[in-house]
Structure 1
Amino acid sequence: MIEQLPAPHLIAAILPCYTSEGDSTVILTTEGERITTGVRIRTILRRLASNQAIDLSSLKKIITDATHQSNLQPLPITPRLVLFPVKIRKPRIAGDITTGCINLHAITSINRITESPSAGTLINLSGGAKVPILWSITTVRRHMLLARLATTQAPITTTQALRRNTVCDADGLSPIARKLAEVIEELFLMTV
């Protein structure tokens, strides 16, 4: 098990993978780092939520109500870590996890894979990683749209609720001052 997770805004993807030790999880960062751990994706998601003082089951209920997606919901953990599910692999045995999570804010481009008869999608992430997805580009785009919708509905990502717990409180500011406060906060988060 990894001792400490990367800062949420540095996580580009959390993916299942097979290693010589068995079923593992890989965390790709926006800085190009690849962290392999023996814990399951669910455990990492619970730890990320816990580190942000989020009740994951309550968040999932809110997102389900907003997106009408009862399975494979997007998870807006922080404003810069909005995870949405993607199918990464076919299971080798029953019970293997086949879906991973991509951070909506870490995507640099998505492309259709045309080399194989069962064309999927290639997601390019900041940090240089390229993640092949088994879903069509239409399905990936749909999940990206659901993730954007989830960010507008989750209480942790709304401006008022978020700002009370962060560096600046933007309530009552003009739109330009509010945007400047958001940019300064993002710069601050990048240095942490």
Structure 2
Amino acid sequence: MVEQFPAPQLIAAILPCYTSEGDCSVILTTEGERITTGVRIRTIIRRLASDQAIDLSSLRKIITDATHQSNLQPIPITPRLVLLPVKTRKPRVAGDISTGYINIHAITSMNSINKNLSSGTLINLSGGAKVSTIWTITTVKRHMLLARLATAQAPTTTPKGFRRNAVFDADDDLSPIAHKLAEVIQELLRMTVS
């Protein structure tokens, strides 16, 4: 069974996490919810991109050309979900994921923190979560600038009508005739399923 993730605009962060069962991922939402999943971060990002009909390899190429950075790239999935990579931990063993992603639109504030002699940054998110990174505040701000640059260069997302699981909203730019046609098609589909 495929796990359901929150709507893209509700995602505040996707982070690696150690649990008693092993390495897993945690999704923090802007509503304060914490969802622990056994799905790897890369898989979550691939599924979020797939749901928006985005080719991640093409998007990464565009971002590389815009930012001149091929590692730890920002990933603009939707206009309201722009994933900023951050190093959140030092791996315990080789192969452990140490990078998480924070939605730049969910960041409410940042503070420098000192852990003994190493410095880091505490990022406060909407929904009340706090994410500690091992990067300095200067490094986090530089990556935020790269994320904004990537967002400006990324192609616009696929129109809602072409996305998987799309629902027509009253604020769509469709004409009334297109809305009526969509309603008729949905009604026909409901009748054939019943």
**Shorter-normalised TM-score: what interval?**
0.7 to 0.9
Asked if 2 retains the 8 angstrom alpha-carbon contact of 1:2 and 1:37, the reply is no
Aligned equivalents of 1:140 and 1:94: distance in 2?
Answer: 24
Structure-to-structure mapping, 1:29-178, within 5 angstroms: 29-156=29-156, 167-169=171-173
Asked if 2 retains the 8 angstrom alpha-carbon contact of 1:74 and 1:82, the reply is yes
Asked if 2 retains the 8 angstrom alpha-carbon contact of 1:62 and 1:154, the reply is yes
Identity of aligned residues (%): 78
Aligned equivalents of 1:96 and 1:14: distance in 2?
Answer: 15
- Cα drift, residue 156 of structure 1: 2.1
Aligned equivalents of 1:2 and 1:33: distance in 2?
Answer: 19
* Distance 1:88-1:115 versus aligned 2 partners, 3 A rule: closer
**What do residues 110-159 of structure 1 show as CA deviations (whole Å, max 9, x unaligned)?**
110035321100000000000000000000000000001111000025xx
Q: Indicate the RMSD between aligned Cα atoms, in angstroms.
A: 2.0
- Cα drift, residue 168 of structure 1: 3.9
Aligned equivalents of 1:95 and 1:163: distance in 2?
Answer: 37
- Cα drift, residue 39 of structure 1: 1.1
Aligned equivalents of 2:159 and 2:116: distance in 1?
Answer: 44
* Distance 1:87-1:115 versus aligned 2 partners, 3 A rule: closer
Residue matched to 2:27 = 27
SS at match of 1:70: coil
Residue matched to 2:190 = none
Which TM-score applies when normalising by structure 1? 0.82
Asked if 2 retains the 8 angstrom alpha-carbon contact of 1:87 and 1:98, the reply is yes
SS at match of 2:156: helix
Aligned equivalents of 1:162 and 1:118: distance in 2?
Answer: 45
Structure of higher CA gyration radius: 2
Aligned equivalents of 2:108 and 2:56: distance in 1?
Answer: 27
Residue matched to 2:8 = 8
- Cα drift, residue 3 of structure 1: 1.6
Long gaps (5+) in structure 2: 163-167, 174-194
Aligned length: 167
One-letter amino acid of the counterpart of residue 48, structure 1: L
Deviates more, 1:30-39 or 1:106-115: 106-115
**What do residues 15-42 of structure 1 show as CA deviations (whole Å, max 9, x unaligned)?**
0010000000000000000000011100
Which TM-score applies when normalising by structure 2? 0.81
